[in-house]
Amino acid sequence: MESLNVGLVGMGNVGSGTLQILLENQEQLAQKLGIPVRVAAVCSRSIASRELPAAAVGVDRYSDWRDVVGRPDIHVVAELIGGLQPARELIETALSHGKAVVTANKELMAREGFSLWQAASQAQRPLAMEASAAGGIPIHSVLREGIAGDRVVAMAGILNGTCNFILTEMEKAGRGFHDVLAEAQQLGYAEADPSADVDGLDARSKLAILATIAYGCGVPAEDILVEGIRRVSDVDFNYASQLRHTIRLLCVARMGQQGLSLSVRPTLLPKDTILASVSGSYNAIWVQGAYGQDTFYYGRGAGPLPTGVAVVSDILHAGRELLSGRENRVSPYSFKQLTEYQPAPPETFRQPYYLRFRVENRFGIIADLAAILRDHHIGIDAVGQLPITNWRDLPFVITVEPATEGEIRAAVETMSQLDYLLEPPLVMPMFAGF
């Protein structure tokens, strides 16, 4: 092999960032791999109208991905189009043509990644997916190699830059969710349809991938408890601040005696913790190992160049594997075989919770709520209420002592029957560590 020939399919955010790095950083990439890394082809459906960098002058352009994966001189195909189909078909076809494959596709890898790895394994070709979770943070390599000698006990991460941007703006400026979301859309930080981000689905796919790599079990993303940030309001930041906390969309994985507990939900974090200081579109992951204890990873979770770095690093990794000629490829999931996912029962872990109510004011509300909590064996930690400005829509907060998810859910279900509640209580865990 005189050069490692690469075909990039998808010329959007990630594809264009990847192309820029491959063209600009050619010299150093060749020094690292030992042979040049050459972009042989780029593809997107609208390639004819796309402006490419001047340095892409000799690069062939295609509008049909089949033309890229079928080219005999291409060694590595990067799938950067996203979605389930035709991305899956593209990867399978590329593998069957003997190509190594690199992908940034979290949705596909969270759902069907392990079967694609089996196909890659059979084809004896590398499959790499570093960019699929936490974009610019090399957390896959860390879990797969850097701390592979450890046994991961727990992880907590901020994995969606759009939500983190919205929440930190709400906190800084005391603004409402919809106002900040509109600005994020204008700035290009949020999609026109923001549901994948603000409803926690994007973070859920990333957590499914990271948990699979960390624990070696096939985690179905749809089994993860997910709550988005739509219900978090400026009032919650006000109360959280009085409690010396802030609010972030937190992804948590914890291994217990009886199984794995996974959740993505808005969470109160003490202001003096490192995770609470992660602002704007940044991501971070805290990993706790049984032996190495705590490690923390921070960086850009998305964006053309940070994600492009992850894709290019995977291309180098694939190139090294192809050059070494090994038949037993390194699994992108770290584990050779995955075990069955064993979810922890909801009574496994105890943690304090923040409950925010909106009520039409009347006598006896606190007494009613306290009685329900008592009946579910949940102790009250504090009750907070800002000065009343509207008797017909009064927000107030109860924080409770550590309880299980099952106890809290049962109590909140009973509370939701109360006729003076304007909406079901907003429940957020208060996370202070594992």
State the residues that interact with ligand NAP by CB under 6 A.
9-15, 43-46, 65, 80-82, 86, 104-106, 131, 135, 302-303, 307
Beta carbon of residue 157, minimum distance to ligand NAP (angstroms, whole number): 14
Question: DSSP alpha helices (H): ranges in 106-174?
Answer: 106-123, 139-141, 161-173
Q: 48 vs 367, which CB is nearer to ligand NAP? A: 48
Beta carbon of residue 232, minimum distance to ligand NAP (angstroms, whole number): 23
Q: How many CB atoms lie within 10 A of CB 404?
A: 18
Q: What residues have CB less than 8 Å from 196, skipping those under 6 apart?
A: 202
Beta carbon of residue 313, minimum distance to ligand NAP (angstroms, whole number): 13
The answer to whether 271 is a known catalytic residue is no
- Which residue lies nearest ligand NAP, judged by its C-beta? 12
Q: Residue 66 carries which side chain, given as an amino acid letter?
A: R
Helix/strand/coil for 40: strand
Bridge partners, 218 (sequence order): 340
Query: Counting every residue, how long is the chain?
Result: 434
- Choosing from 106, 172, 206, 336, which is the catalytic residue? 206
Beta carbon of residue 306, minimum distance to ligand NAP (angstroms, whole number): 8
Q: What residues have CB less than 8 Å from 49, skipping those under 6 apart?
A: none
Q: 52 vs 323, which CB is nearer to ligand NAP? A: 52
Name the token pair of 278.
Answer: 């992660």
Q: 44 vs 261, which CB is nearer to ligand NAP? A: 44
Q: Residue 215 carries which side chain, given as an amino acid letter?
A: Y
Exposed, middle or buried by CB within 10 Å (0-12, 13-18, 19+), for 339? exposed
Helix/strand/coil for 142: helix
Beta carbon of residue 133, minimum distance to ligand NAP (angstroms, whole number): 8
Q: 104 vs 229, which CB is nearer to ligand NAP? A: 104
C-alpha dihedral over 284, 287, 292, 295, to 10 degrees? Answer: 10
Q: 53 vs 406, which CB is nearer to ligand NAP? A: 53
**Which residues carry out catalysis?**
206
